[in-house]
Structure 1
């Protein structure tokens, strides 16, 4: 029921009580929320407590502040209807009251029936005004909702794809000017969840998390962060953008910490998952959004070292410093190559044992960037070998899976489990491909890898697979997309990279080991392929190595 909030002001207590009784007798929608003995008392109470009301019924002549002065001062900041109840039949009072928007002027003593009739008319005007205000409010809310939906769509597109031209986005046209904070929430159990959970279950959890976001943006945090936007980052992570008109105070930072903690605790209580959060610094220019996004994605990887279910702040200089890559150690290169060697001819246990040594090196690191770079090196080298067997069919999917391991691992144990599972999966795939493709091209590739240091000719390879050189050359090009000699050169130069990274052999010795008697020719070929001479390549890949 819509209530009509009424305030009564008269210096005679008997008349105030009589008016109050008559107002309340007009129906249960009427409500008297204040009764005062003079205009000054009423004005101070209304303004200091920010009282909202619909109707003011006041006498004219009162001590301290009369009724007309009260109406005039309240009209400066309030919107309301007013009625004058006066014992003075003075046309000048009536004129003044009309100028201030008074809806009626009633003389004392008040006739009960007349007063009820006047209140009925006032009620109609108030209800009409309330209806119009509600209709405008509905229009405004629908427009605001549409605007917010458009804003979230833009934020989602910008954070999902780096290809959107930042200078082309009119940020000020879409968002208010002020201070912003970006927050990244990442689910800690990404690797285990994706294996066990069906789509419907995750959508149920997503609905729960959505309700948590909407419920917890309460009035207290709204004192500082008046607007908020949240959206999904892929399937298992979320972004939150908070806005305040001016820079937030220290108290606001405490509220923000409590706000994120509430979200984390409620998600952990209502779902079987936990989340970690990365909180960015305050910024005013929304063109910085992408840069801060990248920093937070890196920052949340601290959970690989420190464990999940934590909050990380970009303002923590220690965390920021640890994002800088420190160079891959030579022992990492060694273990990577040994792991790849076991992928084809050794048992799973051999591969797992070398992975444990690889993980041991990573576990001693204090930089997520170093761990990520090392895992990416292993992944890329394994995919290179995979492509030798399978051309270009699955390399993009495999690489995406490998990159997700470091991006979404909730702790170091999850990282190890993810890498181990991925390596053994690819190892099994290579074995399956070798078994399925024991044809002449695969046998030729295996022969080439075993004879990289020999003088290799197309005839030698063709003889090994019992084909004529011409037919073999055409078949090899048709199945692999490259010529036989191009493939031989690629294999030799890839091997040269490994030897330059992992050994102290002279460039001339490496050249001869790979079948190039002319070191200058080898160096020229390597530079054409890699963009650097062998000596430059070795220097770049050993300057930060720790033996």
Structure 2
């Protein structure tokens, strides 16, 4: 027999000695058979048959209550593939012939010839083997038919009809009616694929396929099959976008419920015929581009008349944004860096770029900013390829932007923390010297922070720590000291001193001077006992 299991046999006879004789005298194991149970009447036999589902039943014809023929009719009605062998006496040949007419495999006359029964059982086992092989071949043929169908659809979807052109019998199939394609994509599949072991991956994908197959049968899908890794295709009779969207949301709900995994669904525009499978797939995946701009899973439809989404060539590299980001990273200006990344997100959204195009742009920006940190020698132990892989696995644009903010923001914060107090002091001394040499000009904090090589926010913090003054307080103090020196040692008029210390308006200079010293410039000069 095929396989390593045994065919089960039930023995039925009202004479215990015959039952014992059959169990002992036949080499059941050598025949690939096992006796699953014995019964002494038809009613008890039915219970055994229900409990053990035997392949062969050997029963006496004449028994009290339900006789062998009645038992055989009921057994074969419930399982026509079972083999039924009857035992009869010499005076019961008509019963045996009736049993054969009713579907018995063979009959034995009492007293039982064990060699004859053994030969009969060998033929019965051979017939069961042949049936099993036929069923296996039929199952294989069906499986091959399904695989051929799936491969045919896959070839058409990819725009290649030549290798399977001889299978034109499928062209006049159910696809001649208008249909909608749903492309189901697992969220975070790349990350899951890394986490799953090979056996675990096969188990998950098999489970999801089973969920989708059962769901497809319940909802009248024309076909369902896996396409790319983490992606399945379903075809439905067209019933309008609202109906398709409802089906899509139900699909997401079922996969989340039974597989505990998130997914999104892209719906194509209505199509007709097998030759439009490729267009339907492009339509559904074009709809799925919008998943990149959504922060959660959902159903995305490519509506009638919708313009094709922008292709990678439409997304020009934003040189100005790159310059702003590079400068903010170089200057360790966290706030400006985050604002620039927000602007980059808006730029990509306006172009409605596909994920691969947006991803390439983000990777290019990441490399540029990484080089800025590298040139400034402020990089911690941080491999760039880890960030690039994370960007590749990002499910949506906001997630990718947040990754970049976190990655570069973290490096910038570490850089600021790692600068020693001595480094900070030298930078502030450089700023103070510049202020001393340029106090008479219209000097702003932006100019001095740039001279120090710091962002404005970082410069303000370090300057206050080093001097105890804010930038404006220190600049004012510097100007006032210069003004007091000139008031003491020169006869230059007050209105002439004002622009010499950075104030174009003499009245404003007088106000600032009085606030700083408690006296007007003239009062200060008089108290200094210096005659003009």
TM-score normalized with structure 1 length: 0.45
**Which one has a bigger Cα radius of gyration?**
2
Highest relative contact order (Cα 8 Å, sep 6+), 1 or 2?
A: 1
When the two structures are superposed, what TM-score results if normalisation uses the length of structure 2?
Answer: 0.46
